[in-house]
Amino acid sequence: MRPELQSAPETFYDEHEAQSYKKQSRIKKIQSEMTNRAMELLNLPEEESLLILDIGCGTGLSGEVVSERGHCWIGMDISPSMLKLAAEDSNVEGDLCLHDMGQGLPWRVGAFDAAISISAIQWLCNADKKSHDPRKRLNTFFSTLYACLRKGARAVFQFYPQDSQQTNLIANSALKNGFSGGVVVDYPNSTKARKFYLVIFAGVPDAKPPPALEDETVRVRYQASNVEREHFRARNSGDGKKKKKASFRSKEWIIQKKERARKKGKEVRPDSKYTGRKRSGGSDKV
C-alpha cells in the first residue's frame, strides 16, 4: 500500500522508517534521478547560484543534488525524524525547517528563485485529520508558494497521483492561485518508468510546460547527459573572467564542500593528503 494511504506523513516517517528510507540505495538512486529531472525542468541559468526551496526535503537526498549543481537551498518537511537525519548528515548543506506545507509557507514575498518537490505534494490530497480539507490545504499551499517566489520563477513537483482526478485537483489548485503551466508526464506508455511532474510559473501568463520524455531511447540519452554534467560554471570573477567550478568529486570539489560545511558550524574531518584520493572500491576519501 502507498505510504500516503497508510497514515499521516509525520506518523509514517518515524525514526525507524526514516532510517530505512535513508539507507536504501534504490531509493537514493530513484530520488537522485527524479531530482535531476526536476532541475532540468526548472531550466535555471548555469552561471548563477540561486536560492531554491525544497518542499518535503526529507533526509536531504534531493538537496544534495541541488548543492552539486551549485545552488543554495532551504528544505522543509513535516517529519521530525527525517529532518533529524538530514541535520546529522555532513553532506546536507541546506538550512532545514520543520513545517506542514498544508498550513502555508512562512517565508517573505519573493524570497526564492525556484522551488522543487520530490514525492511529497500528493500527501496534501489526504485528510489525515478531521480538520483537514484537501482542497483548502492545496489552495493555502499554492497561494503562499506563489507569494514567496520571485516573479518569473518556476516550481517543479514530482508526484505520485492516485488517479486522474487527483492529478487534476493538484494542477487546478495551482492554476487557480495564479500559476501558469501544467503537468509533464515522462514515458507515458511505460508502467515502470512513467513519472508525473507539475511544472508551474509564477507571474508568467499562459506559460506552457516543457516537453515530456517519451521513449526509452530518450531516457538513456537523458541519463547519460546527467553523468556528463559533473560541474557547472560559477559567477564571473572580479577580473571579468569566468571561473569554472571544481569537477564533481575531485579533490578541490571535496575541499570546497567541507569548507562550506565548516562555515555552517558542522563537524567535518580535517583535510589530509588522502582527501579526494580514490579508494580501491572507487569511492573518494574525504
CA distance 173 to 160: 16
* 222-233: average pLDDT: 41
Give the model confidence (pLDDT) of 54-89 as tens digits: 999 999 999 999 999 999 999 999 999 999 999 999
pLDDT of residue 192: 87
Give the model confidence (pLDDT) of 98-123 as tens digits: 999 999 999 999 999 999 999 999 99
pLDDT of residue 8: 73
The answer to whether residue 228 scores a pLDDT higher than 70 is: no
pLDDT of residue 258: 74
Indicate the pTM of the whole model. Answer: 0.74
pLDDT of residue 141: 97
- Helix 61-68 to helix 25-42 angle (10° resolution) is 50
CA distance 250 to 4: 39
Give the model confidence (pLDDT) of 114-147 as tens digits: 999 999 999 998 877 778 899 999 999 999 999 9
